[in-house]
Every structure is written in structure tokens, then in C-alpha cells.
Structure 1
Amino acid sequence: MCMPSLQVFRHANMQGYGSDQHELRAQILVRCITNISTDGRAPPRSLGASLQPHVSSVNEARYLIMDLSLPNGVWNLNCVFDGHGGHETADYLVAELPSLLMAGLLPTVTNLEGVSDVLTRAIFDVDEAIKRDFLKIFPEEVDEIATMSDITVKARVNDQFSGGLNHQKALRCLRGSTILLTLVDPTKKHLWVLNLGDGLVALGSKRDASSQWNASILSDNYNGNNPAEADRIKQQHPGEPEFIFDDRVLGNLAVTRAVGDQSFKLPRIYTEKIFLNVEPGFRVPAAIESFIRRNLSPPYVSNIASVRYLDLHEQSNCDCFILMCSDGLVDLYMDDPDHVESLTSLVQKWVGIVGDVVKDDVQEAMLRLLRHALGAEDIDRVLMYA
């Protein structure tokens, strides 16, 4: 089961839904249901849903559920791409990542030990492709770019009237996306979990009908308030006290690992001279201008994902499922000033909610979790989150 991107804005104005509280909640759930997709099987093995309840905001997250037909059988792939700053990078990942994974997995299907490296390499390669495509537009050396006029830059990058290819390539650099990925081999005995960013993957398992559901978090949290990540970046940028500022990379970006976000990976001149001249480009240019001076020795954001392997042989006699979500679902709880529950305890609660019905109705399991996140039967809480 895949539960990506419940992007709920806590204090957004739900314009367009009217004043009836019950109708408000019903419309939120309808918007979620209309975005449900499955792996095409009946009953589905995997299900994804994406929700952005604010009618004036664009949902920047994407998810991918697909089977990969390889010589040794069908592999199951589930991905959550949580875009930020815009949706262009997440869209690119949906379009380009599967073919990279297929190409990498083909020679390794008989050598499972190489799968983790294939996954890590695919993420690295797709991010490098974004940078490479952009640098082909501006192949000049840094010193030459520094002397370019704004007119020259804008004419080259804002090419919407001639197809807009350069503009799209630039937008993929301005935007960013985190990645959650799970891959299961044809025997259903081997699971790989890849994480680049701050999403969450959990395994729910139960030994038998009389047992309680057990939750295991399979992902790490790569953002600015993770001490290990802060220390890693500090080691790479000695003498730069503002490498993490207000728990954000250079005081701006929450995540420490992502695809895109080239303002944190390329020398500052590219942001000053090119990215800030992309039209339309950054949504809040002033926020970008505020951190440029801190960009002294890029890159600050990593495109190296972590991969965890799990042997599922021990789960062969258990009921189990995988739950994936962006940080939006976690933040919906953790940002509540009245919330005192730990993340481990919260995920255990989610697994219990989902596990009760997931075997019989995966869609109902997803909707139960959504209802819980939005306040269950507490209309006032639903309104607060909306």
C-alpha cells in the first residue's frame, strides 16, 4: 500500500467549498478519492492517493505505481516524489526514472547484491541529467556567465515562444523533489527501500490473527534538524557557520538531500545571473536572494540516496504491508501544538488503523488513515487543518 502526499495546509482558506462543515469534510475526501490510483489488479496490491485541499494551490507531489517486467519475472515499484517550489522536478522523475531503473536492473536480476547500488546510481544519474541539460544551455565558464547581460540570459532561457525547452530545463533546476522508493522482487522475498529527503516508509506486520500489528520505520529523515545530517554537511563545509541556519540548509531549504535544487548545488553565480532571470521562475525571489551570500562552496544538498534492504523470508507467514508518505502527513500531526506523541508511537497507530482493513479493502484502509489525519469525527479539528 502506498500512501503518498497528503498535502494538507493547516491554516489554508478553503474557498469554494461553502460554509457547511459536513460538506467541507465530504468534499475533502472526494478530492482524495478522485486522485486514487492502483496497480491495475483486482483486488489491488498497491494504491496511491494525493490530496491538496486548498483549491487555489497546486499539488506538487507525484506518485508512481508500476510493474517492471524483467527476465526473471515482474518486480513491483512504488515511488513518492514530493516536489517543492513547483512540480516540474517531480514530473521529470515520473517520466525519466523508470527507464533508468530498468536499464540498471537488467544486468543485476541474477545478482541481488547489486540492486542497492543500481537504485542509488539511478537517483544520482537522474539528478546529474537535470544539471547537465541546463549547463548545455549555458556552457560558458563561470567568469563569462558573470559578465553576461540580463537581456542575453533572459533571451536564452525564457524561450516559451519557441517551444520552451530551455525554460523547462531551467525550472527543473529551480524546483526540487524528495524521493521515496520501494522495490520488491518477483519472489516477494526481497524488499529495497530508498530514501532521498524527509518522507517516511513503514512496514506493518502481524504474526497471526491473535497478534497485534507491529510497525517498523524503514527510512531515515534527511533534513536540517537531523544532527547527523547537520554534522555531515559541517564536515564538508568547515568554517561556514550558516551552512545550517534555522534548521534549514543555508537558512532556506528544509531537506538536506533532494533531486533538483541546483541553487544549492551550483556556484552562486548561476542563481544570481540565470535562475533569478527565469520568468516565470522562483515564486518568492526575495527568499532566494536572502541565502545566496551563504553559498560559498557548493554543493550543500546531496543527491546520494540511502537504501535499506529487508529480507522478507521471515515475513512469509505473516500479514504485512508497506506504508509510504511524504512529510506532509507527518507534519499534520507533529505541527499540532497539542500533539505530544512520538513519531514511533504515531506510526504504530497508523499501522493499526490501516492493518485492520488493508487485507480486505486497501482503498478503505487508505481512507481511514486520511480521515484520522484530518480529525476523524472532530469537525472543528478538520476545519483547523483545512
Structure 2
Amino acid sequence: MSGNKWLLILVVALAAACSPKTRPVGKGTTKPTDKTSDKPGDKADKNKKEDKDAKKVSDKRVSNIALILPFGLDHLNPGANYSAAGLKKASIALDYYRGFKLALDSLTGEGANYRVQLFDSKDEPSHSHSLALNPQIKSSDLIVGPVFPDGMKAFTTVPGNNKKLILSPLSPSAPTTYNAENLITVIPPLEYHALRAAEFAVEKSKTKKIFVLTSGYSAELPYIRYFKKAVDSLSKKKIKVVQLTVTRGNLKPIVAQMTRFDRNFMVIPSTNQSFLKITLYSLDTLAKRYPMTVIGHPNWEKFSFLKSDQMQRLNAYITSADRVNYRSQATITFMRNYRRAYRAEPTEYAIKAFDEGMYFGQLLADDTDKLKSLDDNEFRGLHNSFDFIYKKGQGWVNKHVNLLRYENFELKQVE
């Protein structure tokens, strides 16, 4: 795309920030659900009072939100051009902005009020560091971004920048990377994928033994460490984790430990294509004699080289925090409204932004104090649910991860 066309898109998008309130999205995402409970009579009276109070407050209060996104507008200057990588980041920024704004437009149609300030991080850590000192950003009720880990690290390490909540909107990086008490990690980190896999394996395994098949690459070590720790904790060390580094599909070292009378659980944390093809073929051969259940890495969802018939024979599962049901009425409504508003197809970033805008926008509209107790407010979105836990030194982390199974030649969510 040419720089002139990008300039036109960005100008139109940013001008839309001043657009009038739109009607609610309708049958979209579920509003945040308060976990607290009261007696039935008291709860009804309390809800009536809260509804009245909320309406009064929403008519007066304006929630301030700062969006820090990697538009890289410097590349629109005369003589400058976007690189392929820079253009991709700018596309992510634009898609995210659109999705987030559509959510806030939906909420303003119900009486909420927002003041959104948009800042260009340029995807430069030094610039993110400078933005952390900006009084307009520091005084916001919620700060969204920077998007990428390097920028977020530069932003959160500024002294005194720990009073307002900072939302990491798209990165699943472990919150220990930043060591920020006021951080919100909305995309579940790898640790919680390993935990969900361990919960399933411990619950279903009857052999008291789970096999972990690894290619030997160091990139797999964090997942294995998280998985082993979770299994030990959940089973009280009654289930043994047997780890094997597989070379050229050779599974003979573990065959003697396998059973023909129950499921043999195989956890494979690898994302290496050649390794997976050979190893899965070997497992498929063994599955003729030994019942199998395979649990794979969350990135498997994106791999087109995996064969559905083979995955079904292996009774394969994966964890996911990005599953969108495009047949649901909520998603259909969102897609229709997004196309109507922007004359474009929504990407995964727009969908995530919409969910995040609906969740945090609703909490801000209800009461800014709700941001202090995210664990009391669950949410079911289009791409994932939000179920936050607070961890000292890490801030708020969304721990909700779905389990998907290969069934009828497609991935289906396990309820």
C-alpha cells in the first residue's frame, strides 16, 4: 500500500474518534459478571439502587482512556516509507483501534462517556519511555499499551509510573518480564496453557503416568517446566511425568512403559514442523496397538500441515485463548457492525480489541473502583473469556484457557 493511501486511512480512522454515539452492538459479548452475591431480596433492591446510581453517574462522569499503539506515523512523512514489518505493525494498530472504538461506541449508546486519547508509540522503546512521562497519559483512568514487549518494558520501568493500571492488550509474554504490580495481562501466558493441559491430563489419566515428548530445543523448556510443576501440584506427586527426547520418531524407549488397556497421554510442546510430522507419524503407528491421547502446543491451531484424520486417530487436544466461533450470533452481529462502520473485514486484533473495550469500558462506566477487583468480574468475549487472578509482582493475569479437540475434521471446544 502506498504512503498516501495509508495517510487517508489513518486520517479517516482518527477523525472517527469524534463520531457521534452509535447504537449498541446488540447481541454481542457478555457484560462483566459480578461474582459477589447477596440474599435474593437484598440483591434485587441493591440492583435497582445501583442501576439508578449508575445512570446518574454515567451522565456526569467521563472515563479517560489512553491508547498507545504502534502506528509509526513518521513513515508518512515526505520521502519516508513503511517497511514490510512497519506496515504490519501499523495495520495491527489500526485494527486494534477500530475494534476498541466500536466497543466504546456500543457502550456510549447505553449512556457511558469516554475521552480517548490516542498516542503513537512508533514501536520505539525510547519513545515509549518518553510517553510514560506524559501527564495526559499518567492521569488516565486506564492505559492501553504499548503493544509489544520491548515498548511495554520501557514504559513500565519509568519510576513512579505505577499508580494507574496498564493493559498489555495483545502480548502473551510472561508478566515476570516487566515486574509491574499495575500491569494487566489479558492474553494468557504460556504458563496457563500448560496448567490447563495438566488439569485435563491429571483428571483423565488412569495410568498415573504422563509422557512428555520433546525435540530437545530449549524453546520447549518453559512449557515443560510449567507442565511438570502443575502435574506435581494437582496430583500431589502421585502422577509421574516421563520425559523423552525423540530422535527421528524413535519411541522405543517408552514403549515398555505404555499400556494397551487405557489411554497413554502424550504431551508434545514442540512447534517444529519436521519434528512434529515424524513424531506424529510414529505415534499414529503405535496407536494401532496402544490407545493414545495427545496434547499439543497452543500454536498447533495455526498449523495447516497437521492432518485432521491423523489428529482424530490420536485423540488430539490443544489449548487455546484465541478461539472465535464465527457461527455464533454474537460474532455475526459484531462482524456486521464492524463492516458497516469501517467497510473492512475485522482481523483477530480487532476482535480482541472489541472484547477488551467492552470489558474494561463497562467496568469504567460502572465504577472505576471495579478496576481494583478484576477477579470479581468475569467476562465471556468473542475470542476468549476473562477470568483474572492477581499475582504479587506481576499484576492481574487472565488465566482462562480453552481446551479444543480434533473432532469431525475440525477443532471443537471441550465444554
What is the TM-score with the length of structure 1 in the denominator?
A: 0.23
Query: Which is richer in helix?
Result: 2
What is the TM-score with the length of structure 2 in the denominator?
A: 0.22
Q: Which has the larger radius of gyration?
A: 2
